[in-house]
Amino acid sequence: MRSNWETWEFSRTNSLGLPNMQRGDFVFGQFAAYLPQIEHLVMDASSFGRTKVLDNGPLLYNLRHLSLSSLNFADGPFGMLGCYEMVASFVKVSPFLHRLELHFELYPLQDPELRRIVVSPHNYLKEVLVSGFSGNKLVVDLIMVVFDFAIELELIEISTAYLGDPSKCTISLKPDDDFLVRKSIEQLRDRMPAKAQLYILDDGL
């Protein structure tokens, strides 16, 4: 399967790729003035820090493509709950965001409750890709939250394989529980926005 990382054009003027773990003050300090110009942003969830950094900043009118990666763990700065906060904050300040990619590494060990963050309906988010999908409750809840605010969603792509930074593929695990994955996908089908189409990128699912 071809990774999206092979096609990203980091030489483009309005693209910023920070896939490796960076300190939040590095990203939102040194690059703060540049962020409103960016059209394509690639980040690791650990780079985010606190949500207030974005909440108090300028609107990212030019951001069209956001790609985030995190561990499939729940807690901590590298986990899925932190990634969810990151998604909510970016969506709030990116009114014309078109594509959102979420890449989860490793197999989840916990399924805590996802405390929802209020996000207004988003009219421009049309495409979502989730890789490293394991079918656990936490990731399903996160995707359903996206369904709730992405009211004009047209496409969601799901892969159990990790399609993010290829240098991290060696630590990614494909879930063995196909039944759980299939059941979770059916739950998502029942909750998708009416116009959305779901594509599974794995053979046999």
Q: How confident is the model at residue 105 (pLDDT cuts 50, 70, 90)?
A: confident
Range of the domain at 120: 16-200
Number of domains in the chain: 1
In a domain, 8, yes or no: no
As a whole number, mean pLDDT of residues 86-114 equals 88
In a domain, 25, yes or no: yes
CA angle 21, 42, 163 (to 5 degrees): 90
Strand 197-200 versus strand 99-105 pairing type: unpaired
In a domain, 7, yes or no: no
As a whole number, mean pLDDT of residues 117-136 equals 94
pLDDT of residue 141: 93
In a domain, 91, yes or no: yes
As a whole number, mean pLDDT of residues 173-193 equals 87
pLDDT of residue 24: 52
Distance of CA 19 to the CA centre of its chain: 12
pTM of the model: 0.84
CA separation for the pair 107, 133 (Å, rounded): 9
Residue 73 Cα distances to 34, 82, 119, 121, angstroms: 31, 10, 23, 28
Whether the CB-CB separation of 172 and 107 falls below 8 Å is answered with no
Sequential DSSP letters for the chain: ---GGGT--TTSTTEEEE-S---HHIIIIITTTTGGG-SEEEEEGGG---THHHHTS---TT--EEEEEEES-SSSTTSHHHHHHHHHHHHHH-TT--EEEEEEES---------------BSS--EEEEES----HHHHHHHHHHHHHBTT--EEEEESS--S-GGGGGG----S-HHHHHHHHHHHHHHS-TT-EEEE-STT-
Give me the chain's average pLDDT, please.
80
In a domain, 6, yes or no: no
> The domain spanning residue 89 has which CATH number?
3.80.10
**Per-residue pLDDT tens digits for 142-151:** 999 999 999 9
pLDDT > 50? residue 10: no
In a domain, 170, yes or no: yes
In a domain, 65, yes or no: yes
pLDDT of residue 1: 41
In a domain, 10, yes or no: no
